[in-house]
Amino acid sequence: MPPKAELKPHLSIDELKTRYRQTKDTSEARRWQLLHLVAQDWTIKQAAQAVDLNYDYAKEIVRRYNHEGPDAVKNRSLKRKVSPRSLLTVEQQQELKQILQEPAPDGGDWSGPKVARWIAEKTGRSHVWPQRGWDYLKRLSNGSQYHSE
């Protein structure tokens, strides 16, 4: 049987249990539950299987917890400030802004899907999500007529 992993006593077993039961982030809850099980003398492999995590990832969680403490368990992706990549160059955005002042090609109002189709054609992309079209529409329309369709 593999050796039991040792956790540094940053938190008690009860505190680990409380963390995994109270966190609203399901990924973070699984990491807390993994640590709770390891603290109860489960092997990392057993605990990883119980909470459905990859063994190597589980080892990394234990390692980070031991070195960095409880903050290492929190969902790091929430800390990153991710800005969506621009689909259009500055020039293309200016062109779209001018086009949005006129009726849509079908004569109606501009909508997210219509702007997304325009972006796809302009950039040569096979698909642009309607939400991205809606984002550009709201940002560039300056009060033009549009709807969410």
Residue 63 lies in a domain: yes
Residue 2 lies in a domain: no
* Sequence letter at residue 104: A
Q: Give the bridge partners for 111, in sequence order.
A: 147
Same domain flag for 64 and 120: no
The reported pLDDT for the residue numbered 65 is 96
Q: At what angle do helices 55-68 and 26-39 cross, to 10 degrees?
A: 80
Query: From the CB of residue 60, how many other CB atoms can be counted at a distance below 10 Å?
Result: 14
Residue 84 lies in a domain: no
Same domain flag for 49 and 99: no
Residue 117 lies in a domain: yes
Same domain flag for 71 and 111: no
At 75, is the pLDDT very low, low, confident or very high (cuts 50, 70, 90)?
A: confident
Q: Mean pLDDT, the chain, as a whole number?
A: 86
In three-state secondary structure terms, 24 is: coil
Condensed to tens digits (0 to 9), the pLDDT of residues 13-55 reads: 999 999 999 988 888 999 999 999 999 999 999 999 999 999 9
Same domain flag for 72 and 43: yes
Residue 60 lies in a domain: yes
The residue segments making up the domain with residue 95 are 90-147
Q: Would you state the torsion angle of the CA atoms of residues 121, 123, 128, 131, taken in this order, to the nearest 10 degrees?
A: -100
Task: Report CA Rg, the chain.
Answer: 25
Residue 69 lies in a domain: yes
